Amino acid sequence: MMKKVITVFISLLMILSLAACGNFASQTGQPSTEEKPMESTADNVGSVESGTSVENTEATEKQPEETEASGNAGIPEDPEEQEEQGTKVLVAYFSATNITRGIAGHIANGLNADIYEIIPEEPYTDADLNYNDNNSRTTIEMNDPDARPAISGSVEDMEQYDIVFIGYPIWWGEAPRIVSTFVESYDFSGKTIVPFCTSGGSGVGSSATNLEQLTDGADWLPGKRLNGSDSQDTVMEWVNGLGLDFGE
């Protein structure tokens, strides 16, 4: 009997311990121990300042990239610098009897451009301009392709200009030699040059292409002969038809 009681007691003990092992096994099998650190980390990031500052740092780091992508790259914030980058136009001209001067004025007014008069160191007198005189100053100069009459003054900071109009009267089918002096006095490389002239009836002929030979690296547009009596509208019609970007 006693043996039976002990056997039953031992059996009960075994059943109880097996039940306890089963519970332990089921607890350790749960993924809760792995999830908890993740949950707590997420909670910490949400509540700890350092976590927030990390997010802000990332946002701050992205801002410069977004600024570049928005198309602002290369545009200076300084308005003066921006202006410097706009198209600048100069209208330079020589005029012995003021006809070409009027056309140059129309262009400069129409484009709100700077204007520069090529002034001879030694002014041309009426006698100098007498093309019927074989010994007049102009006849002598135009007979000598190497003549380079001196200019009084100079263009201040030619470098700033992108487009330069060059106006002159036709003398014996050519540009006056003083215009050769002018084009040889500056570096026009990278600039667009627009030659124009007035005359008693002759066309621009080879006057502009001969001037072009005296420069390097400039983009010369075909020369244009205008009438001294042309209105500003007529002149600007030609200017605006050149296909140039004047920046405004």
Ligand X SMILES: Cc1cc2nc3c(=O)[nH]c(=O)nc-3n(C[C@H](O)[C@H](O)[C@H](O)COP(=O)(O)O)c2cc1C
Q: Are strands 119-120 and 151-152 parallel, antiparallel or unpaired?
A: antiparallel
Q: How far is the CB of 234 from ligand X (least distance, A)?
A: 16
Does 198 interact with ligand X (rule: CB under 6 A)?
Answer: yes
- CA neighbours closer than 13 Å in the CB half-sphere of residue 74: 4
Token digits for 222?
A: 């075909």
Token digits for 6?
A: 């002990």
Does 131 interact with ligand X (rule: CB under 6 A)?
Answer: yes
Among 118, 170, 179, 235, binds ligand X (CB under 6 A): 170
Judged by beta carbon, residue 129 or residue 236, the one nearer ligand X is 129
Does 226 interact with ligand X (rule: CB under 6 A)?
Answer: no
Residue range at the interface with ligand X (CB under 6 A); choices 45-53, 99-107, 113-121, 188-196: 99-107
Residue range at the interface with ligand X (CB under 6 A); choices 4-12, 22-30, 77-85, 167-175: 167-175
Does 120 interact with ligand X (rule: CB under 6 A)?
Answer: no
CA dihedral of residues 41, 44, 49, 51 (deg, nearest 10): 20
Residue 220, φ and ψ in degrees, nearest 5: -90, 125
Q: How far is the CB of 110 from ligand X (least distance, A)?
A: 18
For residue 178, the Cα-to-chain-centroid distance in whole angstroms is 33
**Which of 206, 207, 129 lies closest to 167 in space, CA to CA?**
207
Does 173 interact with ligand X (rule: CB under 6 A)?
Answer: yes
Q: How far apart are CA 92 and CA 116, in angstroms?
A: 5
Does 67 interact with ligand X (rule: CB under 6 A)?
Answer: no
Q: How far is the CB of 201 from ligand X (least distance, A)?
A: 4
Q: How far apart are CA 239 and CA 248, in angstroms?
A: 14
Residue range at the interface with ligand X (CB under 6 A); choices 22-30, 58-66, 81-89, 197-205: 197-205
Residue range at the interface with ligand X (CB under 6 A); choices 5-13, 26-34, 49-57, 195-203: 195-203
Among 95, 181, 192, 207, binds ligand X (CB under 6 A): 95
Among 172, 190, 229, 245, binds ligand X (CB under 6 A): 172
The residues near 7 (Cβ < 8 Å, ≥ 6 apart) are none
Among 37, 64, 79, 201, binds ligand X (CB under 6 A): 201
Does 200 interact with ligand X (rule: CB under 6 A)?
Answer: yes
CA distances from 224 to 6, 164, 207, 235 (A): 129, 14, 10, 10
Judged by beta carbon, residue 91 or residue 99, the one nearer ligand X is 99
> Phi-psi category of 168—alpha, beta or left, where left has phi over 0 and alpha has psi -120 to 50?
beta
Does 192 interact with ligand X (rule: CB under 6 A)?
Answer: no
Q: Which residues of this protein are in contact with ligand X, per CB under 6 A?
A: 95-101, 129, 131, 138, 169-173, 198-202, 228
